[in-house]
């Protein structure tokens, strides 16, 4: 179960740099499954409380830079975690052109070095 797709998804998510985000579609693409965005979501959903601590799941967002996670505390927790990494929300959304995987500009850091 963890030797297959799930493990791959988690591995890919772990590769997302701190302070940046990737969309479900991008993660799927990295796995070689161009249209497996939903499958990625399924894998992350399976984390629920489990080894979520070892996977920076908060760095995966929807293609529109919006949090896809649904629920009551879920969305809030994810946002809080991302903001703690320096990811800024504008109008409930994240500027992917700025915080995306390897986009041009450099993301802001929570702790600037003087």
Residues contributing to the site for DNA (CB under 7 A):
1, 4-6, 23-25, 33-42, 44-48, 52, 57-58, 60, 62-64, 68-70, 74, 78, 91
Compare residues 46 and 101 and give the one whose CB is closer to DNA.
Answer: 46
Nearest to 37 by CA among 29, 22, 25: 25
Angle at 61 between CA 96 and CA 36, to 5 degrees: 110
Contact 93, 65 (CB under 8 A): yes
Q: Which is nearer to DNA, 14 or 114 (CB)?
A: 14
Go through 8-17 and write b for each residue having 16 or more CB atoms within 10 A of its CB, e for each that does not. bbbebbeebe
Least separation, in Å, of the C-beta of 113 and DNA? 30
Smallest gap from Cβ 78 to DNA, in A, equals 7
Rounded to a whole number of angstroms, the minimum distance from the CB of residue 29 to DNA is 10
As beta bridge partners, residue 61 has 23
Q: CB of 46: closest distance to DNA in angstroms?
A: 7
Q: Which is nearer to DNA, 24 or 99 (CB)?
A: 24
């Amino acid at each position: 179960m963890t030797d297959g797709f799930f493990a791959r998804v988690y591995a890919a998510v772990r590769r997302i740099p701190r302070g940046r985000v990737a969309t479900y579609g991008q993660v799927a693409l990295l796995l070689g499954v161009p249209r497996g965005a939903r499958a990625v979501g399924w894998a992350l959903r399976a984390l629920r409380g489990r080894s979520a601590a070892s996977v920076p799941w908060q760095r995966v967002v929807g293609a529109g830079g919006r949090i896809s996670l649904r629920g009551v505390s879920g969305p809030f927790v994810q946002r809080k975690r991302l903001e703690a990494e320096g990811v800024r929300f504008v109008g409930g959304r994240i500027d992917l052109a700025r915080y995306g995987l390897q986009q041009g500009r450099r993301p802001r850091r929570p702790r600037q070095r003087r």
